[in-house]
Amino acid sequence: MNSLVQTENLSKTYTRGTQHVEVLHSINLAIEEGDFVALMGPSGSGKTTLLNLIGGLDAPTGGSISVGGERIDQYSENALAKWRSGHVGFVFQFYNLLSTLSARKNVELPLLLTRLTGAERRERADIALQLVGLAERAVHKPAELSGGQQQRVAIARAIVSDPTLLVCDEPTGDLDRQSAAEVLTLLQQLNRDHGKTIIMVTHDPKAAEFAHRILNLDKGTLVDVAERPAA
C-alpha cells in the first residue's frame, strides 16, 4: 500500500540574521490513508513545523514531502496554495472564526474559492455542521457558542471541502477537559466513520490516546513511534 504522506530526509532550517537554526533533521515518515497520528514532544521539538510542512503552509529546506503521490515540496507558492485549498483541512488551537458571521457562513468560507453556487455552498455547510452535531446552531455567531462548539464549527469548516488530510494543531489546547473529550471523540468519529486521515499536534497524553499512533519528536528528530491499542 502506498503511503498517503511520505517524507524522506525532511529538514527545515530558519535563518535569523547570521544564525541558522535547524528545527527538523532528516525526518523519514510514512502515514497511511485513514491513519490518525498524534505528534508529541517538548516545546521547541519541531512538532508544529512538521505539521506545517505536511499541510503545505511552509516549504522544507531539504528532503521531500509527498501527499497522495504529489511532491508538494516542488510546488511554487501559488501552486501550493491551490493544492492546500483542495486537499487539506486545518484545525487550530484558537478557532479563527469570523465574529460577524454565523456558524454556517464561517463553514462556507473555504467554498468561496470554488465554483459552487450559494445554494450549494449552504447545503454543504449544513451537512458539515450536521456531521459535527451543530445543525441547530447554524445561524448562531461565535460569541453565542461555547468554546467546544466553536471548535466544532472550525472542524466543520475544515471538512466542508472533503479534504484528503486533516491537520490539527493543539485542537483542544484552549478547551476544558469535557469539551476537549467531545472534540477528540468527534475527530475519532471522522477518522473511523468517514475515513479521514488526521495528523494532530498535542502536548496532552490523554488527547494522544485518541490517535492510532503517537510520533515523538525531540530536538527536531523523530525518536520513536508508539502504536495505540485497537479501539
What does the domain layout of the chain look like in residue ranges?
5-96+164-227
Give the pLDDT of residue 89.
92
Residue 106 confidence (pLDDT): 95
Rounded Cα–Cα distance for residues 212 and 32 (Å): 11
- Region at 217 (left for phi over 0; alpha for psi -120 to 50; beta for the rest): beta
- Residue 53's pLDDT is 93
Q: Whose grid coordinates read 475515513?
A: 195
Q: Tens digits of per-residue pLDDT, 39-63?
A: 998 888 889 999 999 999 988 999 9
CATH tag, 5-96+164-227: 3.40.50.300
pLDDT of residue 225: 63
What is residue 3's predicted lDDT score, i.e. its pLDDT? 87
Global pTM reads 0.89
Residue of 39, 35, 91, 33 lying closest to 207 (CA atoms): 39
| Distance (Å, whole) CA 209 – CA 12 | 28
C-alpha cell at 217: 519528536
pLDDT score of 14? 87
User: From the first residue on, what is the mean pLDDT of each consecutive set of 10 residues in the chain (231 residues)?
Assistant: 86 86 90 94 88 92 92 91 88 89 94 86 93 92 93 92 91 87 91 92 92 91 66 45
- What is the pLDDT, as a whole number, of residue 230? 47
SS3 36: strand
> What percentage of the chain has pLDDT greater than the value 70?
96
What is the β-pairing status of strands 70-71 and 197-201?
Answer: unpaired
* b (16+ CB within 10 A) / e for 14-39: eeeeeeeeebbbebebebeeebbbbb
Does an H or E element contain 82, and which? helix 77-87
Write down the pLDDT at residue 135. 92
Q: Give the per-residue pLDDT at 176.
A: 86
**Which residues, including other chains, have CB under 8 Å from residue 122's CB and lie 6 or more apart?**
104, 108
The x, y and z cell numbers of residue 143, run together, are 460569541
Spatial separation of the C-alpha atoms in residues 102 and 99, rounded to whole Å: 8
Q: Per this entry, what is the length of the chain?
A: 231
